[in-house]
C-alpha cells in the first residue's frame, strides 16, 4: 500500500494524542468501578458458597475462562471495528482451526501448539480469500448482505467439516497436561497456556495496531475510509488484511483451546453468543476491551453460578450485559462518538 507520510501525520497525530489522555482517565474510572463491583459480588459469592476454596476456584476459573472468551472474541472485534461486519463465521473458523490442529497432531505427531505454525497462516489465507472474493464486492451493499454471507460461510464450513471428518467428536491430548495449584485453586495446565496465549495475542494485536505503519493504516480506514483513500491508502487491501488478521486470531484460538475442547463441527458455535457479549461489553472494535470484556463475562458467569445455584450461569452474564448497555451503551471501553 502506498502511504503518504505528510497527510497521514496530519490526519493521525492530534486526535490520537487527545484520545489517549481522555481514554486513560475514563478507563481508570471504569476499571475502578468494575473492580469494586466484582469485589462485592465475590464477597457475596463467598458467603453463599461457604467455602474459600470454592470461591478461589470460581475466581481463578473465571479469569481463565474469561481469557479464553476474549481469545475467541478478538478476531470478531477487530473485524467489526474496521469493516463493520459482524463475522458470524467466527465460531466456524475456530472449529476449522480445531480440526486443522487435530490433523497436524495426528499426521506429524507433533506437540499440539506447534500446529500454530499451520493454523495461523492457513486461516489468514482463508480470511484474505473470503474478504477478497466474497465480502469486498458487497462492502457498500446494505449491512444484511454481509451478515448473510458470513452466516452462509459458517454453515458451509460446519457442513464441510461434517462431510470430511464425520460426526464423531475428536480430541487432542496435550502431553503433560495435569492439574496445578494456583492460589489455592486447581487448574488444568492447558487452560493456563490458553490464557497466556490470549494475553500474548492481545499484546501482539495492540502493538500491530498502534506501533506499525500497517496498524496506522488499518486504524485510519476504520476511522474514516474516505479520508484514508484520499491519502492513498488501498482500502480494499486493508479490508483484506484486516479480515485475514481476524481469521488468524480465530485460528490461534482454535489451536490453543484444542486440548480441552471436544472437536466437532459445531464446537465453535458454543462460544458464539458469549463472544458477542464480550465484544459488545468491551466496546465494539476495541482489542484490549475484548480482554477486559472476556474477564468480566468469565468472572460473572462463575460467581453468578455460586450466588444463584440452580439458575443458568448465563443469567448473571445477561443481567450484567443489560446493565452495561443501559449505563454505557457503547460498552465498558467503547468510545463516545
Binding interface with other proteins (CB under 8 A): 49, 51, 53-54, 57-58, 61, 64-65, 68, 158-159, 162, 166-169, 171, 178-179, 185-188, 191, 260, 262, 264-266, 269-271, 273-274, 302, 305-306, 309-314
Q: How far is the CB of 186 from other proteins (least distance, A)?
A: 5
CB-nearer residue toward other proteins: 61 or 77? 61
Task: Compute the Cα dihedral for 328, 79, 274, 299 and give only its sign.
Answer: negative
CB-nearer residue toward other proteins: 214 or 270? 270
Task: Evaluate whether 258 touches 102 at the Cβ level (below 8 Å).
Answer: yes
Q: How far is the CB of 201 from other proteins (least distance, A)?
A: 18
Q: How far is the CB of 65 from other proteins (least distance, A)?
A: 5
CB-nearer residue toward other proteins: 213 or 322? 322
DSSP E strands, 139-252: 179-182, 185-188
What's the CA gap between 274 and 71, in Å, rounded? Answer: 11
Q: How far is the CB of 138 from other proteins (least distance, A)?
A: 27
What's the CA gap between 147 and 222, in Å, rounded? Answer: 18
Q: How far is the CB of 311 from other proteins (least distance, A)?
A: 7
Residue 186 pairs with which residues in a beta bridge?
Answer: 181
CB-nearer residue toward other proteins: 30 or 186? 186
Q: Which long-range contacts (CB under 8 A, 24 or more apart) does 300-305 make?
A: 300/41, 300/62, 301/62, 301/65, 302/58, 302/59, 302/61, 302/62, 302/65, 303/38, 303/41, 303/42, 303/44, 303/45, 303/58, 303/59, 303/62, 304/41, 305/58
Task: Compute the Cα dihedral for 239, 245, 247, 249 and give only its sign.
Answer: negative
CB-nearer residue toward other proteins: 38 or 269? 269
What's the CA gap between 9 and 269, in Å, rounded? Answer: 42
CB-nearer residue toward other proteins: 128 or 263? 263
Q: How far is the CB of 46 from other proteins (least distance, A)?
A: 12
CB-nearer residue toward other proteins: 58 or 332? 58
CB-nearer residue toward other proteins: 3 or 56? 56
With cell 464423531, the residue in question is 168
Rounded to the nearest 5°, which phi and psi values hold at 102? -60, -45
Q: How far is the CB of 101 from other proteins (least distance, A)?
A: 15
CB atoms inside a 10 Å sphere around CB 313: 15
Which cell numbers in the block locate residue 101? Answer: 490442529
Q: How far is the CB of 289 from other proteins (least distance, A)?
A: 21
Q: How far is the CB of 162 from other proteins (least distance, A)?
A: 6
DSSP E strands, the chain: 179-182, 185-188
CB-nearer residue toward other proteins: 39 or 262? 262
> Dmax of the chain from CA atoms?
63
Amino acid at each position: 500500500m502506498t502511504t503518504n507520510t505528510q497527510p497521514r501525520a496530519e490526519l493521525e497525530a492530534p486526535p490520537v494524542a487527545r484520545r489517549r489522555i481522555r481514554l486513560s482517565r475514563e478507563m481508570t474510572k471504569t476499571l475502578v468501578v468494575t473492580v469494586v463491583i466484582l469485589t462485592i459480588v465475590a464477597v457475596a459469592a463467598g458467603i453463599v458458597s461457604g467455602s474459600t476454596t470454592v470461591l478461589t476456584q470460581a475466581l481463578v476459573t473465571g479469569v481463565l475462562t474469561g481469557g479464553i472468551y476474549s481469545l475467541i472474541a478478538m478476531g470478531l472485534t477487530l473485524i467489526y471495528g474496521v469493516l463493520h461486519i459482524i463475522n458470524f463465521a467466527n465460531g466456524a473458523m475456530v472449529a476449522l482451526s480445531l480440526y486443522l490442529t487435530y490433523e497436524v497432531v495426528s499426521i506429524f505427531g507433533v506437540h499440539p501448539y506447534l500446529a500454530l505454525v499451520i493454523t495461523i497462516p492457513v486461516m489468514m489465507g482463508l480470511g484474505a480469500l473470503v474478504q477478497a472474493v466474497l465480502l469486498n464486492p458487497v462492502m457498500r451493499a446494505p449491512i444484511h448482505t454481509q451478515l448473510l454471507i458470513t452466516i452462509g460461510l459458517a454453515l458451509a464450513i460446519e457442513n464441510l467439516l461434517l462431510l470430511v471428518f464425520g460426526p464423531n467428536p475428536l480430541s487432542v491430548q496435550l502431553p503433560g497436561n495435569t492439574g496445578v495449584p494456583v492460589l489455592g485453586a486447581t487448574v488444568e495446565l492447558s487452560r493456563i497456556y490458553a490464557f497466556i496465549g490470549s494475553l500474548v495475542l492481545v499484546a501482539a494485536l495492540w502493538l500491530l495496531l498502534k506501533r506499525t505503519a500497517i496498524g496506522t493504516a488499518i486504524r485510519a480506514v476504520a476511522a474514516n475510509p474516505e479520508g484514508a483513500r484520499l491519502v492513498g491508502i488501498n482500502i480494499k487491501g486493508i479490508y483484506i488484511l484486516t479480515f485475514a488478521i481476524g481469521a488468524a486470531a480465530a485460528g490461534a484460538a482454535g489451536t490453543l483451546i484444542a486440548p480441552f475442547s471436544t472437536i466437532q463441527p459445531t464446537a465453535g458455535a458454543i462460544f458464539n453468543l458469549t463472544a458477542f457479549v464480550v465484544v459488545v461489553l468491551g466496546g465494539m472494535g476495541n482489542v484490549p476491551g475484548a480482554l477486559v470484556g472476556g474477564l468480566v463475562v468469565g468472572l460473572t458467569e462463575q460467581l453468578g453460578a455460586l450466588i444463584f445455584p440452580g439458575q443458568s450461569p448465563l443469567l448473571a452474564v445477561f443481567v450484567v450485559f443489560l446493565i452495561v448497555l443501559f449505563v454505557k451503551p457503547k460498552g465498558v471501553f467503547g468510545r463516545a462518538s
